[in-house]
Amino acid sequence: MPAVAEPPTVSVVVCSYTMERWDLLTKVIASVQAQTYAAQQILVIVDHNPDLYKRLMETVRDAVIVENSGPPGLSGARNTGVGLATSEIVAFLDDDAEAAPDWLERLIPFYDDPDVLAVGGRAEPMWEAGRPAHFAEELDWIVGCSHRGLPRVASEVRNVIGANMSFRRDVLVQVGGFNVSLGRQGSVPLGCEETEICIRSTIGAPGSRVVYEPAAVVRHFVPATRGTLRYMLARSWSEGISKAQVSRLVGQKRTLGAERRYVRRTLPRAVISGLRESIVERNPAGLSRAGALMAVLAVTAAGYVRGRQLAQPDAGASAPPLRAKWRQAN
């Protein structure tokens, strides 16, 4: 009788950078500690904030508190966590994304398939002041959440969502971790580091897969300031620039396939729906959503063009090697 494989162990990495999210951060940590599939290790990485590090050390139990040993920014903090992780799977949560109790239980079974390199779940927005009338669900990517148009059942995708993702640890080590030239730094809303690492991970592994499991849920807090049109357009501009950076690293075809489908299918349906609502139901919210959708598309495209024009010799710099840290941690 063949031996039954042991379920994989999991290290959960929570990256934090500001004292302003203290209450949210403690809820996130508590949600990891309450998982039905227990994490072997909880790592809280503090991104160059000594006061936050000190307070966490004094307050939090049953978690490892570590200062970011890499360059400032989310990618550097995540790489620090990967370097210290001791489990087969490394899962990541944002410091404002509270996990459902069965979050890990929903993610882990997909790793029974050796071709699965990464598994991500659904991030649902938790609006501080309610969803603004002009903010269509198709634009929830702007606030780091799953948007309408993503699969409703477990499916193969190009990349996972940063607020709710997991990887095989040996894959992260092999590819050198997250690219520190990409990703959010403090409040600067750049991103796409998870897109780039998912593409980079699968390039050298034919037949490998990245899976999206919408049943694995986290609730991502969205402050009222991120529901404004001003923030939407600023974030869209940054997204365009970030996508341009990634396309230089891994090529336009790999980078923009999902975006082309989104622009051809998801956005037109959303715009038509908003216009129909404003005309048939005489609801001005429909027109405001349609206008915001078109404005976001235009600004994102402009950001992408600008990003392609910018000369950034260091944009292709890879993340610091993790192998030395990995050996030390073991």
| 232-245 residue pLDDT tens | 999 999 888 888 87
Higher pLDDT, 256 or 261: 261
Average pLDDT over residues 77-95: 96
pLDDT at residue 329 in the model: 32
Return the closest-CA partner of residue 119 out of 164, 173, 186, 180. Answer: 164
Higher pLDDT, 193 or 221: 221
pLDDT at residue 304 in the model: 84
Q: Among residues of the chain, what percentage have pLDDT more than 70?
A: 87
pLDDT at residue 259 in the model: 78
Give residue 200's pLDDT band: very low, low, confident or very high (50, 70, 90). confident
Query: Is it the case that residue 58 has pLDDT exceeding 50?
Result: yes
Q: Are strands 164-168 and 116-127 parallel, antiparallel or unpaired?
A: antiparallel
Average pLDDT over residues 239-267: 76
CB environment 106-131: b (16+ within 10 A), e (fewer): bbbebbeeeebbbbbbbbbbbbeeee
Q: Which residues pair with 164 in a beta bridge?
A: 93, 161
Average pLDDT over residues 76-85: 95
When mean pLDDT is compared across 12-16, 170-174, 177-181, 321-325, the lowest value belongs to 321-325
Distance CA 28, CA 15 (A): 11
* 2.40.50.140, 3.90.550.10, 3.60.15.10, 3.40.50.300: CATH of 10-227: 3.90.550.10
State the chain's mean pLDDT as an integer: 87
Ordered by start, the domain boundaries in the chain are: 10-227
Could you tell me how far CA 70 lies from the centroid of its own chain? 19
pLDDT at residue 4 in the model: 59
pLDDT at residue 213 in the model: 98
When mean pLDDT is compared across 54-68, 165-179, 301-315, the lowest value belongs to 301-315
Higher pLDDT, 244 or 21: 21
Query: Is it the case that residue 194 has pLDDT exceeding 60?
Result: yes
Average pLDDT over residues 155-163: 93
Query: Is it the case that residue 303 has pLDDT exceeding 70?
Result: yes
pLDDT at residue 67 in the model: 96
Residue with tokens 């027109």: 287
When mean pLDDT is compared across 32-46, 118-132, 194-208, the lowest value belongs to 194-208
Q: Are strands 116-127 and 209-222 parallel, antiparallel or unpaired?
A: parallel
pLDDT at residue 3 in the model: 56
pLDDT at residue 255 in the model: 58
pLDDT at residue 223 in the model: 96
- pLDDT tens, 208-217? 999 999 999 9
pLDDT at residue 224 in the model: 96
When mean pLDDT is compared across 60-64, 285-289, 317-321, the lowest value belongs to 317-321
- Contact at 8 Å (CB) between 314 and 70? no
